[in-house]
Amino acid sequence: MPVNTILMTLKEKQAQLINRIGAIERDFRKGRPADFAEQTSGSENDEVLDEIFHEAKAELGQVNAALVCIDNGEYGYCLKCSKRIAAERLKVLPYTNICINCAH
């Protein structure tokens, strides 16, 4: 996959994650209703949103790191063994920094 295509894919993913994180932050700022029954379901919702929020932040960190690697000419190499990551793996998960062998 050409670097320009990967770069565009990563930039799109970065924008999606930034939007998702912003939406969750806005939802948290809304607050919760005073009704006890609604507070209980709101609390459960907050737990799920909190997990999604943290996952999105972690994924955004990986995307940003991949973009830095592209800028530095280090993209596509495994952090553990320094071998080239297979193009098929990068196509599926363009922000991975571990080859399939090291991932197992």
Tens of pLDDT, residue by residue over 18-41, are 999 999 999 888 766 555 555 555
Is residue 48 very low, low, confident or very high in pLDDT (cuts 50, 70, 90)?
Answer: confident
61-78 pLDDT, tens per residue?
999 999 999 999 999 999
In DSSP terms, 48 is beta-bridged to: none
**Predicted pLDDT of residue 47:** 85
- 43 lies in which domain range? 3-75
Question: How would you class 58 by CB atoms within 10 Å of its CB: exposed for 0-12, middle for 13-18, buried for 19 or more?
Answer: exposed
Residue 52 lies in a domain: yes
Q: Please report, rounded to a whole number, the percentage of residues in the chain having pLDDT higher than 70.
A: 86
Let me know if residue 83 belongs to a domain. Answer: no
Q: What is the mean pLDDT of residues 95-100?
A: 95
Distance of alpha carbon 26 from alpha carbon 96, whole angstroms: 29
- How many structural domains is the chain composed of? 1
| pLDDT over threshold 80, residue 103 | yes
53-57 average pLDDT score: 96
Distances (CA, A) of 102 to 22, 44, 58, 64, 78: 34, 36, 20, 21, 8
Calpha distance 40→91 (Å, rounded): 42
Question: CA-to-CA distance for 65 and 75, rounded, in angstroms?
Answer: 9
User: What secondary structure letter does DSSP report for 2?
Assistant: -
82 domain-assigned = no
Instruction: Supply the pLDDT for residue 52.
Output: 94
